[in-house]
Amino acid sequence: MAKTPIFTGSCTAIVTPYLENGVDYEKYAELIEFQYAGGTSAILVCGTTGENPTHTEEEHNRLVELTVEKCKGRMKVIVGVGGYNTEHVLSQAKHAEACGADGILMVTPYYNKTTQKGLVAHFTYVADRCSVPMIIYNVPSRTGIGVKPATYLELSKHPNINGVKEASGDIAEYALTRSMCGDELVFWSGNDSDTLPMMSLGARGVISVASNIIPADVAKLCELCESGDFKAASQLYFRLADFFDKLFIETNPIPVKTAMNLAGMNVGKLRLPLVDMAEGTRAKLIESMHALGLKTV
């Protein structure tokens, strides 16, 4: 049975702005307005880019509640959940459901790595007990475990598993998975640099880091791909390609938060264990920003 995507186009994996003593909720609300003005379709709150592993339960819950409140009726809201304790993941999913989120993004379990059979059990356990649609997040570079095509096929049978944020970077394996699952799973690119090739093979958009600072460009790229105008999409993609690359010159979200602060967006510091960019990579980021026409302060 074909799945209807929770959203199409650009979803911003939004950063979390910090004050010295906590989350800057006022600035966070401003960032949501900036995304709406830029044509963003959805907000991913408490994702990797949002430094969710550093949040207290209270901060996580407040960010989710505020995002739903500010986005309601304007942009879809996806809540990042996940970890190595399935029951705790379920509790986060239940909170997202109670708040009225449109979906959850559930990352594969890390550290206590499971098998492919275990992945099916882990995702199914939550999907069986929570009505909010699920997006599976496959990012083996961070978690040490990847979802295989046959596993996707098994998970695609669950009515509450809507799709996948695919951030493996393996386009050939993604193409194989698409050929096996058809429209029973919706796919989104999990890397800005993979947006065009993945959308040419049926993905419905991107969960983006770059759109934190260039939301209109990322939204336009998705729009061109969705309309099938891959010639124009390629021209835009080539203009953005170096910036996409430089946003991952160090561990995300170090470069994007640095870029936002350089652009005068004042999103505060990173939380340990993340630290400031090295001077050499920071200079390369600034050069890429200037080449794209982004001013720095």
Catalytic residues: 137, 165
Helices within 133-208 (DSSP H only): 140-143, 149-155, 171-181, 195-200
Please name which of 101, 105, 154 lies closest in space to residue 132, comparing C-alpha atoms.
101
CA dihedral 224, 167, 286, 288 (to 10 degrees): -40
Per-position DSSP letters for 4-38, written without gaps between them:
PPS--EEEEE----EETTEE-HHHHHHHHHHHHHT
Instruction: Classify the phi-psi angles of 82: left when phi > 0, otherwise alpha if psi is within -120 to 50, otherwise beta.
Output: left
CA distance 107 to 287: 33
Yes or no: say if 237 and 195 are a contact pair by the CB < 8 Å rule: yes
DSSP SS3 for 98: helix
Nearest to 8 by CA among 78, 63, 65: 78
C-alpha distances in Å from residue 29, one per residue of 12, 116, 140: 14, 39, 31
d(C-alpha 278, C-alpha 271), whole Å: 16
* Short-list 255, 202, 250, CA closest to 230: 202
With a CB cutoff of 8 Å and minimum separation 6, the contacts of 237 are: 195, 196, 221
